[in-house]
């Protein structure tokens, strides 16, 4: 597609429920990133994929968070047993990632998660 696409754009769930957020990167971009943006803050890094593998998941806050990218394109961020503190906008970004230089990031419009 023309840009990074994220679904759903809004998700309201109850505490303790399971949530999946989807990201479809720009075609041909091998690098994919998830960031989380809380109200009034800058985005915070969660996880980075180069191809199918998670090259760095050091930003995931705890083991309730998990992400996959099975075919090296679409990625899904999964959150188990959601807590109110998980409420934020989850941003996905992609870049042309080859070798040591991954290049400029292009962000999607985000998925706004509200945990009641």
Partner 1 sequence: ELKVEQNPLFLSMQEGKNYTIYCNYSTTSDRLYWYRQDPGKSLESLFVLLSNGAVKQEGRLMASLDTKARLSTLHITAAVHDLSATYFCAVESGAGSYQLTFGKGTKLSVIP
80 binds partner 1 (CB under 8 A): no
CB of 18 to partner 1, least distance (A): 25
How far is CA 80 from its chain centroid? Answer: 15
CB 14 within 8 A of CB 67: no
Rounded CA gap, 109 and 4, in Å? Answer: 8
Site residues (CB under 8 A) for partner 1, limited to 82-111: 91, 95, 97, 99-102, 104-110
* Residues near partner 1 (CB under 8 A): 4, 31, 33, 35, 40-45, 48, 50, 55-56, 59, 91, 95, 97, 99-102, 104-110
């Amino acid at each position: 597609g023309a840009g990074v696409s994220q679904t759903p754009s809004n998700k309201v769930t109850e505490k303790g429920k399971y949530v999946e957020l989807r990201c479809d990167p720009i075609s041909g971009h091998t690098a994919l990133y998830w960031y989380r943006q809380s109200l009034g803050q800058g985005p915070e890094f969660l996880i980075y994929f180069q191809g199918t593998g998670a090259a760095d998941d050091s930003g995931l806050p705890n083991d309730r968070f998990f992400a996959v990218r099975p075919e090296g394109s679409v990625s899904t961020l999964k959150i188990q047993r959601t807590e109110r503190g998980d409420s934020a906008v989850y941003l996905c970004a992609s870049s042309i990632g080859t070798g040591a230089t991954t290049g400029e990031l292009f962000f999607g419009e985000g998925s706004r998660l509200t945990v009641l």
